[in-house]
Each structure stands twice: as C-alpha cells, then as structure tokens.
Amino acid sequence: MKYIFIVNPRAGAEDTTAKLRAATESLPQAADCEIYVTKAPRDATEYVCAWCDAHPGEAVRFIACGGDGTVNEVFSGAAGKENVSVSCYPCGSGNDFVKAFGGAEKFLDIPALLTAPEQPLDLLKVGDRWSDNVVNFGFDTTVAITINEEREKTGHGNKNAYTKGVIKALLTAMKNEFTVKADGVVLNPGGKALLCTVANGQYVGGSFKCAPKAKTDDGLIEVCLIKPISRLRFVKILKPYTNGEHIDSADMKDIVIYRQAKKVEVSAPAGFAYSLDGEIIYENNFTVEIVPGALRLAVPE
C-alpha cells in the first residue's frame, strides 16, 4: 500500500512539513511513503483526484495533515474511490473531526496511522461538495467568518479567533432568517433561529459538542436547531451547549429542536452564508443528504 501524507503548511501555529518528513523517513514503510505539500485552497482535493485517476485500483491511504479544512479537502477527493482509505494527522487549530474518535492524541502516532484498521465513514453531500463533520449556520456562521478573517490576517489558525467570533455573533447574529426541513418536516415554521447544526460528527468550533449523539457510520444526520433567545439566556446555555448537554436538558426543551434525518433542506434570504467544515459558502437554498459508507477511515486503536 502507498501512504501519502498531504500536508497543509499553513495549518495550526507552525509548519509541520519537516517534522513529518523526518518521521516518515524512519518508518519501516518509508519506501512506500510520500509527502505532498499543498499550494493553495482546494489543491488537496485536486491532487487526490488526479492521483487516483493516474493509479486506478492501486491501494493507497491518504493522510490529511492539517486542520479540519485539510481533512475536508482530502476526504472530498477520496470519496467514492476504490481501494482508497483515509486518515489524518491533526495539527490545526480546532481539529473537530477527530474528537468523535477520542481526540487528536491517538492520531498523532504516525506508525499507528499506517497500520490502523479501517471502518466505514458516512459523508454529508451538499450539492457537489462533501462534508465529513458539520454543516452549520446562523450564529455559528458569524463565528466561522470571523475565524477565517483572523486566519487571513495571521496566516494560520488560532484559538483566540473562536472567542472573537463569539463576541461578534453576540452583537449581530442572535436572530437569523432561515427555514429548515428535516425529511420534509419544517422545524421552525416562523423562519427564525439562533443557529442550526447539520452534523455527521460531534464537535464544531473547536470545543462545542453540538451533536453528542452523532455516529459517523449510522446513515443518519443529526439536526439541532436552537430558537432565538436573549443574550442573557445565551450566556446561561453556553456551558451545557459546549458540554453537549443541550439535547437532554430540561432547561432547554423550549428552545432546542432535535431530529435525526436523511435529508435536510434549507431556504433563506439572498446573501445567506453557511459553514461547511469551516469553509464559508454563500448560498441561500441548499440540501444536505447523508451518503452511508462513502469512505474507509483508518482509526488507530
């Protein structure tokens, strides 16, 4: 099997290319390892697709080395390809995807990434795009836009950007206009909400356990919509939401709408934006569907 480490040099606080190159050169499988350093956004997806087209049927494991954006790009390129598995070396600022599998630490053992057993991974399909983790909008999108702006300023991700994003959203995004249907049922007939998460994974924003019941291989989307609330109440619910206690909280039953679904439809006014694994997309009508077993994911034991 070939092992290709796809490295985003801008992920996290430092470029890990040299560290990964040195680590792979000392492995017993060194002759089968390659490192590819991405050059621009979407480059990882294009590279994976081109490699698979040039090596049809060859067994390969692509390892995304970066944050959640890098994971999304690599997984998007590998989706549906034969004899392909994926994994990740999480070195971004949030690393949300791997939290559903126990956290980043177990994925930082490079030898274990090569020998890790594979398991099926569902993906979310949004038009011609894929999401491995969460599609979210409303309050969360304002946070994500701020994070991206900070990344453009500094050249890398940083955890302080999440705090800045939350503060901005508290001032500007407490009541957002959009309507959500889950398997044809309208969740918010009034067309207003604080936020909504459409999830395959469990975490978003670096620390918020938005979908605590999510499983990445059950063929279901976790949909959680929170109705508009005051800033004071927002402060009160922040801790249970962060800890993933909001779905079962008696104190939040009046504002939380939770469903499992296979298809989610969203309609909103022109200029609407949503976040797909951290990437901001401007689109006011879109559909999210689950694709069971779209990838084979290598998870170290």
**259 alpha-carbon distance from chain centroid:** 19
Mean pLDDT computed over 65-77: 96
pLDDT at residue 157 above 60? no
Q: What value does the mean pLDDT of the chain take?
A: 94
Q: Is residue 210 part of a domain?
A: yes
User: Quick check: 269 and 283 in contact, CB under 8 A?
Assistant: no
Complete edge-to-edge strand list for the sheet that includes strand 134-138: 256-261, 221-226, 195-199, 134-138, 273-276, 279-282
Structural domain of residue 278, as residue ranges?
134-293
Q: Is residue 128 part of a domain?
A: no
| pLDDT level of residue 139 (50, 70, 90 thresholds) | very high
Q: Is residue 277 part of a domain?
A: yes
Identify the residue whose tokens are 């779209």. 294
User: Which of 71, 87, 116 represents a domain boundary (last residue)?
Assistant: 116
pLDDT > 90: percent of the chain: 84
Are residue 146 and residue 247 in the same domain, yes or no? yes
Which of 162-166, 205-209, 273-277 has the largest mean confidence?
273-277
pLDDT at residue 154 above 80? no
pLDDT tens-digit series, residues 15-29:
889 999 999 999 999
Task: Give the chain's radius of gyration (CA, Å).
Answer: 19
* Residue 250 dihedral angles phi and psi, to the nearest 5°: -65, -30
Q: Is residue 298 part of a domain?
A: no
* Tally of domains within the chain: 2
Residue 174, domain CATH: 2.60.200.40
User: Which of 62, 81, 116 represents a domain boundary (last residue)?
Assistant: 116
pLDDT of residue 144: 82
Are residue 19 and residue 86 in the same domain, yes or no? yes
pLDDT of residue 206: 81
Mean pLDDT computed over 60-86: 96
* Pairing mode of beta strands 221-226, 195-199: antiparallel
Are residue 204 and residue 254 in the same domain, yes or no? yes
Residue 62, domain CATH: 3.40.50.10330
DSSP string across 126-181: ETTEEESSEEEEEHHHHHHHHHHHHHHHHSS--THHHHHHHHHHHHH-SSEE-EEE
pLDDT at residue 155 above 70? no
Are residue 7 and residue 44 in the same domain, yes or no? yes
Are residue 142 and residue 284 in the same domain, yes or no? yes
Mean pLDDT computed over 122-142: 96
| pLDDT level of residue 120 (50, 70, 90 thresholds) | very high
Are residue 184 and residue 235 in the same domain, yes or no? yes
pLDDT of residue 14: 80
pLDDT tens-digit series, residues 238-290:
999 999 999 999 999 999 999 999 999 999 999 999 999 989 999 999 999 99
pLDDT at residue 158 above 80? no
pLDDT tens-digit series, residues 26-58:
999 999 999 999 999 999 999 999 999 999 989
Q: Is residue 299 part of a domain?
A: no
| pLDDT level of residue 159 (50, 70, 90 thresholds) | low
Mean pLDDT computed over 138-151: 85
Mean pLDDT computed over 134-143: 93
Q: Is residue 238 part of a domain?
A: yes
Structural element, H or E, at residue 289: strand 285-298
pLDDT at residue 162 above 90? no
Are residue 34 and residue 110 in the same domain, yes or no? yes
